[in-house]
Structure 1
Amino acid sequence: METNEKWSSRVTFILASIGSAVGLGNAWRFPGLAAKYGGGAFLLVYAVALIILGIPMLTMEIAIGRKTKQGAIGAFRSMNKKSGFVGWAATTNAFAIATYYAVVFAWVLAMVVFSTKFAGMVGKPEKASKVFFEMTKTSGTIQGLHIPMVMVVALVLAWALIYACIRNGTVSVGKVVKYTGLTLPLIFLCIMAIKGISMPGGPKGIAKLFVPDFKTVIENGNVARLIVDAIGQVFYSLSIMMAIMIAYGSYLSEETNVIKDATIIALADLGVSVLSGVVMFTTMYGVGMTTNDMSASGIVTAFVIYPQAMANLTNTGWINAAFGMVFYLCLSTLAVDSAFSIIEGVSRSISAHFELNSKKVTKIICAIAAVISIVFITESGLAWLDIVDKWTNQYNMILIGVMECIVIGWIFQMDKVLYEINRNAKAYKMPMWWFKGSIRYIAPVVLLLFCGLNIKDLFASGGVYGAADGYPLWSNLAGGWGVTLLVFISGFIANGVIRIKKKHGFTEREEEWK
């Protein structure tokens, strides 16, 4: 993916961006949070947060990518050389996420096959809920190094698919996203939604999803947490703060209408989230379950709760198995785009900044990440994934977002970025009050609040050292605090290595916002 590489068309860019944004979080985390916070109440706050904060940050990343023709590292260095460490943090954190996201993709691929077991589990939800654990052989602790052969096969297949999708840059990505970007996920989701709505309890599920229940939220004292979690889901869902959208923006032509395309991407992401909510809510209520049976944990929702629903879907085993397979095929199409886009964000950031052969960089990154990901398919893999995911998403990514807002809103000139956003816009433009209010004030404050609440919860559950979820302190230090430290010092380490290499003739690319 050389510096002058471009998307083949506007539609390809939009589909690739939607494919990256629309991921597993839309299919399982969004419905879980909606169930936790009164259905329509969460949906309403989420939509408002998307408009106020999500769209400005998404357009910001796409615009600076197009302007600089660089990945995250080069883009932030072009605005201020001292802010290059922000790009390094985003890139390193994205790499850490890629190592375990590929394993989640592998789990989903394996469950497509293991869904056939639902055929013999009619009326046996407890048995269905154990399929995932029998497949992964997870111990639920950090103990155990045994690796099930089925997970070896699934992980190899996952990485093979990820690499195949990005091996030729925008050319191969463009071919894949025609199907996985929106088409196949919509087909699968619509099939499941029609089935859910047609079930006896389906309409009740629809009402629970769309009718706000603020009374329950207020009575439970969850108003502040509802707002913060809704905003957090917006940031997670749009693939921002992960070096991805900067990379995708760097392949855009100068004629692109950034604000218009970014809005389309954001609204499509919202649409898929709502459709996923329809599927989950109608299915749950259709089989006699309620929102109380759902979980804000995506893994629990997808691999424990949904199989229970499949066991009670109909009295015909093969139909239950078929719908289970459709569900996991849908998750597969959602997961693959997000997985390869994360690798793309890392690869573009490094190859563009150091002017390296992008195909070789992509191959090396995939190989290293694949080796590391083996840790997450061991018996203790689920526990390690839980630890690393908590730090990379709930702390690292949020702080990276704060730093991005500080660089754009307080260090660099905001009017230059806003000009890039509106450069080809006509009737629909982003006004300064919207962009400035979001990036300079609202986003960093809300993100810091979100991170602060997460840290408060961490220490409340794990004691003074933050050893959360019952895992030993050393595992939290290694997989949590250690990863966080590496993410935020990666830029300083890189600069140190570069200074040493410069003494031996190495020349670093000089970035400049022209």
Structure 2
Amino acid sequence: MATATKQPARREAFGSRNVFILSAIGSAVGLGNIWRFPYVAYEGGGGAFLIPYLCALLTAGIPLLFFDYAIGHRFRGSAPLAFRRLHRAAEPLGWWQVLICVVIAVYYAVIIAWSAMYTWFSAQLTWGKGNENDFFFSDFLQMADVKEVGVSTQFVPQVGIPLVLVWLVVIVIMCLGVKRGIGAANMILMPLLSLMFLVLVVQSLFLPGALDGLNAFFTPDWKALANPAVWASAYGHIFFSLSVAFGIMVTYSSYLKRRTDLTGSGLVVAFANSSFEILAGIGVFAALGFMAAAQGTDVSGVASSGIGLAFIAFPTIVSNATGGSIIGVLFFGALVFAGVTSLISILEVIVAALQDKLGWRRVPTTLVVAIPLAAISTALFSTTTALAVLDTADAFVNAFGIMAVALVAVIVVAWFLHKLPALQEHLNRRSSFRVGTVWKLLVGVLAPLVLGYLLVNELIAKISAPYGDYPGWFLSIFGWGMAIALILGGVALSFVPWSKSSHAKDDSDYDEFLLDEAYDPDPETGSIRVATQGGAR
């Protein structure tokens, strides 16, 4: 009796292009848009920074976004499977990206937990006026020095409990799948995030001193344009801002229907992300202008980024502003929503990769991924040395993870595998905005040059002086050691056998019309071309 060959379940898909766009924007719009971009722009020349920023967006961000879309959509897989179908030797690039997402997910969740607690604290001004700095470091984090205690195991309940709740919410969303979970969550959270931040901006604009903050943010310092570091900063920010080069957009685009307008969608995502960043800059600097006026100083004396902006500067604003509790709830609530939409996209890279590799179903794969990550996240980041571990891991995974894999990926695909013409053809076959030689030059020449420059600068900076003045053993584990482990782990995982149900082919000639997509109309003539194993005929 003949036995039927087991076929894999059809690949999940977003319900519509609009859901994909919202999900991609949700991934791109994260914590960095709110707490990093405003300060980067301010330090980079204020209004003048918009010139290198737009140049970086047009010449690097959008081209690399198209690059990720083309790979994910053309080869219909998670990052490892898509790169394997591109060429078998490229599979380690996909696993390198997956492991980067593992590291980011582990520490990203704790920032969402902090934000959730500060949303609650804002309603009651829990930190006490004038005590914002001490409250965050001493009362809330109960921070200890790694030089004195090493890596602590002392549990901090006000961090650990909300962190577990964040993981539970995210696990539920992930278990529901691409359409009912990720897509539905973004359809709810992204409009809410936009509305909340718009209200926050409007309220901030009416604070005393808001105009001084906006003047500081937008007044151009044209001399800054002569500084190469400003341009490097713009390009560095764009690479991280659009969620390119660490598997997210490759994975998300693999869930698109085959006739989706890829470049049109990419342009919407890119410009929506940048619009939100500028909106964030207006809201943040209007509030900082108020803070400077209240303290009798100028904006430069209170401007900061990252954790200092979110958990010290903004609580100070909340304490002193009329209606400050509302500002705090809106600001920290926005951080929670932006963080959750980004975290689910990060986790999806990992879940999709294991689903493809092992041929497992959605729910068991999600639980196998998320429960251990939640345990590690809670064990490392609910302790008194959490901030030092987070700071180091974030600095090294961004520099020697995301930037490094982006550099290697564009060099391998463009110069060793010569796949840019095929990716260009795929983009043009399906998109309203056609790309050509300029796109190939931007991805194959400009992107490697800029990424190489940024990577060398980071390498020199971190070798010349211990990062954060942390002990050598600490940096060896959570910094250099982690960065090297990501590469070695990516190579090792590429040797794990693929499930027979994954359709992972050993050759590099995979065609996305395999199975039920056998016919493809030519976009210009409308004639039908039959797709075969060897490509469209």
State TM-score, norm by structure 2: 0.87
Residue 63 (structure 2) pairs with residue 64 (structure 1)? no
Deviation per CA, 1:203-248, whole angstroms, max 9, x where unpaired?
Answer: 2322332332123x36xxx811111111111011111112111110
Equivalent residue, structure 2, for 1:509: 504
Equivalent residue, structure 2, for 1:46: 53
AA aligned to 2:26 is: G
Identity among equivalent positions (%) equals 27
AA aligned to 2:474 is: S
Task: Note if contact 1:140-1:382 (Cα within 8 Å) is conserved in structure 2.
Answer: no
Taking the TM superposition and a 5 Å limit, the aligned residue runs for 1:102-181 are 102-118=109-125, 121=128, 124-125=129-130, 127-133=131-137, 134-141=139-146, 143=149, 144-170=152-178, 171-181=180-190
C-alpha displacement of 1:60? 1.3
| CA distance, structure 1, for counterparts of residue 410 and residue 349 of structure 2 | 19
| CA distance, structure 2, for counterparts of residue 371 and residue 198 of structure 1 | 44
Task: Note if contact 1:2-1:352 (Cα within 8 Å) is conserved in structure 2.
Answer: no
Q: Which runs of 5+ in 2 are unaligned?
A: 1-7, 512-537
Distance 1:140 1:231, change over 3 A: farther
Equivalent residue, structure 1, for 2:525: none
2:393 to 376, 388, 391: 388
| CA distance, structure 1, for counterparts of residue 88 and residue 377 of structure 2 | 33
Equivalent residue, structure 2, for 1:185: 193
Deviation per CA, 1:301-326, whole angstroms, max 9, x where unpaired?
Answer: 11112212222223xxxx22222111
Equivalent residue, structure 2, for 1:6: 13
AA aligned to 1:488 is: I
Equivalent residue, structure 1, for 2:356: 352
Equivalent residue, structure 2, for 1:465: none
| CA distance, structure 1, for counterparts of residue 135 and residue 418 of structure 2 | 52
Task: Note if contact 1:257-1:422 (Cα within 8 Å) is conserved in structure 2.
Answer: no
Aligned length: 491
Larger Rg: 2
Distance 1:506 1:478, change over 3 A: farther
Equivalent residue, structure 2, for 1:325: 329
Q: Alpha carbon RMSD of aligned pairs, Å? A: 2.1
Equivalent residue, structure 2, for 1:493: 492
| CA distance, structure 2, for counterparts of residue 3 and residue 161 of structure 1 | 26
Q: What SS does the corresponding residue of 1:199 show, helix, strand or coil?
A: coil
Equivalent residue, structure 2, for 1:279: 283
| CA distance, structure 2, for counterparts of residue 321 and residue 420 of structure 1 | 50
Task: Note if contact 1:19-1:337 (Cα within 8 Å) is conserved in structure 2.
Answer: yes
| CA distance, structure 2, for counterparts of residue 305 and residue 496 of structure 1 | 48
| CA distance, structure 1, for counterparts of residue 491 and residue 245 of structure 2 | 19
Equivalent residue, structure 1, for 2:341: 337
AA aligned to 2:73 is: R
C-alpha displacement of 1:35? 2.1
C-alpha displacement of 1:506? 11
| CA distance, structure 2, for counterparts of residue 302 and residue 178 of structure 1 | 26
| CA distance, structure 1, for counterparts of residue 308 and residue 127 of structure 2 | 22
Deviation per CA, 1:174-199, whole angstroms, max 9, x where unpaired?
Answer: 21111212x11211111121122222
Q: Which runs of 5+ in 1 are unaligned?
A: 463-467
C-alpha displacement of 1:497? 4.6
Task: Note if contact 1:293-1:305 (Cα within 8 Å) is conserved in structure 2.
Answer: no
Deviation per CA, 1:348-372, whole angstroms, max 9, x where unpaired?
Answer: 1221233222321111111111111
Task: Note if contact 1:114-1:131 (Cα within 8 Å) is conserved in structure 2.
Answer: no
Distance 1:115 1:209, change over 3 A: same
Equivalent residue, structure 2, for 1:257: 261
AA aligned to 1:177 is: N
Equivalent residue, structure 1, for 2:222: 214
Residue 420 (structure 2) pairs with residue 421 (structure 1)? no
| CA distance, structure 1, for counterparts of residue 245 and residue 26 of structure 2 | 16
Equivalent residue, structure 1, for 2:250: 246
Deviation per CA, 1:367-425, whole angstroms, max 9, x where unpaired?
Answer: 11111112022000110111111111122110100011112211232111011222222
C-alpha displacement of 1:261? 0.2
Task: Note if contact 2:84-2:504 (Cα within 8 Å) is conserved in structure 1.
Answer: no
